Amino acid sequence: MSIETGLTGRATLRVTQADTAATLRSGDVPVLATPRLVGLCEEACVQALRGEVPPGLTTVGIRVQFDHLAPTGVGREVTAEATLERIEGRRLTFTVAANDVGGLVGAGKLNRVVVEVEPFLKKAH
């Protein structure tokens, strides 16, 4: 594998009603839901690895350490950035941060692990 530390990725979202805590049932306010923000950060991690993971392999999320620091309203754009900080065998550790026009809205660490697609899917019930 050609995966090396320092890889970066980015993902951007314009918040819609479908992305809110009220819609996703993670709260009752019409602002960007924490699960959706974490998902955007996961997307940035996947973008960082685009073209680096050989065919037949993929990465899956295994751990989330994340602080959601500020609300982002419907209609605002939020961008997540991920940097691959550490590689321990198959385990990859990313530092992530998400910002909107007002500044930092969330930050943390996400861990992903490299798996073989076919055996992994056979374990799914």
Percent of the chain at pLDDT exceeding 90 = 97
How far, in whole angstroms, is CA 117 from its chain's centroid? 19
Q: Is residue 121 pLDDT above 70, yes or no?
A: yes
What are the domain boundaries of the chain?
A: 8-123
Superfamily of domain 8-123: Hotdog Thioesterase (3.10.129.10)
98 and 61 Cβ atoms separated by less than 8 Å = no
pTM for the model? 0.95
pLDDT computed for residue 125 by the predictor: 78
pLDDT computed for residue 49 by the predictor: 97
Distances (CA, A) of 68 to 35, 49, 59, 62, 91: 10, 24, 24, 19, 24
pLDDT computed for residue 2 by the predictor: 73
Write the pLDDT tens digit of every residue in 54-102. 999 999 999 999 999 999 999 999 999 999 999 999 999 999 999 999 9
* Sign of the CA dihedral running 125, 121, 62, 36: negative
Question: Region 38-47: what's the mean pLDDT?
Answer: 98
Q: CA 117, CA 107: separation in Å to the nearest integer?
A: 29
pLDDT computed for residue 1 by the predictor: 63
* Sign of the CA dihedral running 43, 49, 55, 59: negative
